[in-house]
A and B are shown apart, each in its own frame.
Chain A
């Protein structure tokens, strides 16, 4: 995995000070959440759709392997080559082999978080395949040699001026271009890559078990290009993206498009079923689908199963006060924000991302906006207990708080200690707590309990 050891506390401390990044993150997050609210308000049966989504996803995650096998069989019947990868390393090896077997030297790629999870670009580049990101946001961060900071809007942290500077530096465009001119420059640059590429690489928003189709959404049109122009197509799809029937798709699409960007549908919706057929002038000669497990079957059997229901819409990110305060990079994980704080530790290990379940105020906003009702705050709280088996002192405190006589003694002791000042006896024990808080002022006079007792007797 990543060579740096993730440390959310340290990274977020630095991130909150980067006012330019935080301003850019807030601007986009506000816009996305505003558009979602409007789209949801214009959909009277949205709650019914959410319930449908959750119920259907429970059926799927309860029998993931059945749907994966059904999808694989139907996709093969449609002429695709389906590969199963148990982990990221196997997926990368398969992708390298597919490229090598077909003499593919250049690839155009659509935005795919699953490919990020597999570190597909790094693997293919190391094997001599030049991969060009074609989603504008991904193209920008590829030029800047950065990682995405939002699963839907990967370059959310960069300003127009910074993008203009980057394009001048890397593509030789005139300085200080407008957004329109930057987009036109990217169109020209990438059009040539699309027409010349040997291989098109995408993820998949949905995989339909009963037809073997991959469903892909895009607003820019790059996914359509990548699934139509190159002679080899590779789709890397997590097994959690499988839905049972084509008839389910419009409903999940309605949930995803509204939650991701406040749309009823994206500009382009591509339903890809197998490679080019006899007589057709378009489409790849071969379609390869890598079905990635990478811990998903294990997660489906555990207490955090519903995280696999996630549609990767990004709504929980845009609405999260922590994400909005620190941006995506501070999480140092492929999946940031609330869904990422659950999914990243579950995929990569709690010991690597032990901090992330704490990157949450438990405000509950993410669960409110989640289109498939994933109980994210509950999961984050439970993951905290998984990380921190309570220390002895806390166990004693819990015992004390459960026993009225001990609680009373404890409170008396506490008042005494507060009067003597926390700098003395209690300071070392409270160090963690007082890093960012003031200790309470000692209370003058009698305690609440004593006051209550005299008051109730007097009545």
Chain B
């Protein structure tokens, strides 16, 4: 029910959203990486359901793309290699909450979560589990209580502007293309 509301809303804001099973993921990823000729993929490694990350990582590496991820330092903190991140053609992130009311993807910050992978590359692919759909923004915000992350970002469609003659154009600073693949079935 709310998933249908999300699908309608997300398509309305220009997100390419699809439902697929984990077994379809390999094939679809290969096709995408191929189509984009993505030499370098920004891929944060924290926060994923294990089977999903394993599939994504294996497939991206199989396609011959380099991956850029926040690196864990000796003291346990994380850091991005900024110049490598800046040249990634595709960002793949796990999205643990998406909002039916607005068609938004939620990205809280946290060590290793690497939300910049959803901003710097020209194409962003977000992967979610169907069960992670939330009805509305207010309810999702309430889940955090007083413990809100330092940066909580909601992405609703591609980066766009109407600043020149009010002509709607995408890919200004962030991705021009946002894909959201929702994995159905229980695998985690």
Contact = CB atoms under 8 A, between A and B. Distances in A.
Contacts of A186: 172
Contacts of B163: 135-137, 140, 153-155
Contacts of A7: none
A180 interface: yes
A225 B173 contact: yes
A182 interface: yes
B128 interface: no
Interface of A: 24, 27-28, 31-32, 78, 134-137, 140, 153-156, 158-160, 163, 179-180, 182-184, 186-187, 190-191, 194-195, 211, 213, 219-222, 224-225, 227-229, 246-247, 249-251, 253, 261, 264-283
Contacts of A156: 166
B162 interface: yes
A399 B180 CA distance: 72
A148 B161 CA distance: 16
Which of B142, B163, B171, B173 has the most chain A CB within a 10 Å cutoff?
B163
Contacts of B175: 221
A153 B163 CA distance: 6
Interface stretch (B31-39, B56-64, B101-109): B101-109
14 contacts: A24-B165, A158-B164, A179-B165, A191-B86, A221-B172, A222-B172, A228-B115, A247-B138, A250-B141, A266-B156, A270-B153, A273-B152, A275-B150, A282-B80
Given A221-B119, A265-B104, A281 B157 contact: no
B165 A247 contact: no
Given A179-B164, A281-B77, A273 B153 contact: no
A27 B162 CA distance: 12
A163 B164 contact: yes
Interface residues of B, number: 55
A279 B78 contact: yes
A65 B142 CA distance: 26
B116 interface: yes
B165 A159 contact: yes
Contact of B174 (A140, A158, A184, A220): A220
Given A228-B116, A250-B138, A268 B153 contact: yes
B70 interface: yes
A182 B161 CA distance: 11
Contact of A27 (B82, B157, B166): B166
B169 A183 contact: yes
B27 interface: no
B65 interface: no
A281 B79 contact: yes
Contact of A281 (B13, B112, B119): B112
A251 B101 CA distance: 12
Interface string B136-177: 111001100010111111111111111111110101111100
Contacts of B80: 281-282
Given A190-B173, A220-B172, A221-B173, A265 B165 contact: no
Nearest to B173: A221
B161 to A, nearest CB: 5
Contact of A271 (B9, B102, B148, B164): B148
B53 to A, nearest CB: 18
Nearest to B111: A279
A136 B156 contact: no
A184 to B, nearest CB: 7
A160 B164 CA distance: 6
Which of A136, A249, A271 has the most chain B CB within a 10 Å cutoff?
A271
B159 A225 contact: no
B96 interface: no
A374 B48 CA distance: 47
Contact of A221 (B111, B136, B174): B174
B146 A268 contact: no
B151 A153 contact: no
Contacts of A184: 171
B103 to A, nearest CB: 8
A221 B153 CA distance: 11
Nearest to B116: A282
Contact of A268 (B111, B112, B154): B154
B137 A250 contact: yes
Contact of B173 (A134, A140, A159, A213): A134
Nearest to B81: A281
Given A250-B137, A269-B104, 10 more contacts: A153-B163, A153-B166, A179-B169, A182-B164, A183-B172, A229-B116, A264-B101, A265-B137, A267-B156, A273-B152
A276 B115 CA distance: 13
Name the 7 nearest CB pairs between A and B, nearest first: A221-B174, A279-B111, A137-B163, A281-B78, A221-B173, A220-B172, A221-B159
A161 to B, nearest CB: 9
Nearest to B102: A265
Contacts of B159: 219-221, 267-268
Contacts of A283: 109, 150-151
Contacts of B164: 136, 140, 155, 158, 160, 163, 179, 182-183
Contacts of B160: 219-220, 267
B167 to A, nearest CB: 5
B91 interface: no
Contacts of A266: 156
A213 B141 CA distance: 12
Contacts of A268: 153-156, 159, 174
A135 B103 CA distance: 24
A213 B77 CA distance: 24
